[in-house]
Amino acid sequence: MRQRFWKNEAFYNSKAYTEPNVLRMQKGFAPQQQNPKTGILESMELHHHKVPQRNGGLFDFIKVWPDEHRKLDPFRY
């Protein structure tokens, strides 16, 4: 499911990402960025939105960076 999400994101929203990230996403991998606080390279994560998938969307995900995801769901792992 994640691979399909990132491939679709690369196809429909390629202008929102750098060329290296679009190439990653075309292969099904998440885009990456260097964390400004730690300097560590991090991959974008998908957070399950509160609205269930059955209530109208193909995907119930929102795209977040690990720091954002930690704030939304401290028990995500």
Query: What pTM was estimated for this model as a whole?
Result: 0.76
Residue 57 tokens read as 């969307």
CB 51 within 8 A of CB 60: yes
Task: Write out the chain in H/E/C secondary structure.
Answer: CHHHHHHHHHHHCHHHCCHHHHHHHHCCCCCEEECCCCCCEEECEEEECCCCHHHCCCCCEEEECHHHHHHHCCCCC
pLDDT at 70: 83
pLDDT at 33: 96
Residue 43 tokens read as 């991959």
pLDDT (tens, 9 = 90+) of the chain, 77 residues, equals 889 999 999 999 999 999 999 999 999 999 999 999 999 999 999 887 765 555 555 557 889 998 888 888 877 76
